[in-house]
Amino acid sequence: MAGIYGEYAETLHKVMDQLIGELSDYNNEVKEKTGDGIYEHLLGRIKSEESMREKCGRRGIPQTPESALRVMTDSIGLRVITRFIDDIYQIVTFLRKLPGVTIVQEKDYIRHAKPNGYRSYHVILDREVPYPDIDGRQLGHYYIEVQLRTIAMDSWASLEHQLKYKKDIGNEELIVKELKRCADELAGCDLSMQTIRNMIREEES
């Protein structure tokens, strides 16, 4: 069976590596100016063949390169973990200014948390790159999904993910309630940490 990304599988890695490199350079630039990096961790992945086929199946669409690269927008995924909330918005501003980048979807789950307490910032980028794409363009377009979270948000999301895929939990209702309480407490800590950093920087300036 042919790969679901067809001849564009290698290009996906090039597009991902380009953005990782740009974010890494920006991180170093911020570190030189302030002494602190703009993010703590940066993770990138190409959605696996199995995961993409499974997602297409759930959506009831053909398991083809056209579906994987055009209907779906998460063949390339980046997760950026920061220490402070403001760093997330600063990185989003940086992404907006990158050459060839258009933000096609944006969801701010930090200011507008999900009912279960989930907080994160999601953007889907349309990136023009010097490689052909599935539509026949020589300056091709590829989607990149970027999720940005603080360390606290990421820890919470990891725990909530375990609950979501765990079966036969007897006290699930209590766990969900406790997770929501923790999410709110962590959000309060994130805001307090941001305030403290701002105060320290004001003293330094």
Is pLDDT of 1 > 70?
A: no
- The neighbouring-strand residues paired with 144 are 125
SS (H, E, C) 107-125: EECCCCCCCCCCCCEEEEE
CA distances from 151 to 45, 53, 115 (A): 19, 31, 20
> pLDDT grade, residue 118 (50/70/90)?
very high
Backbone angles phi, psi at 92, to 5 degrees: -60, -40
Residue 76 corresponds to which tokens in the numbers above? Answer: 């390339």
Q: What is the pLDDT of the chain when averaged over all its residues?
A: 94
The pLDDT tens digits for 48-100 are: 999 999 999 999 999 999 999 999 999 999 999 999 999 999 999 999 999 99
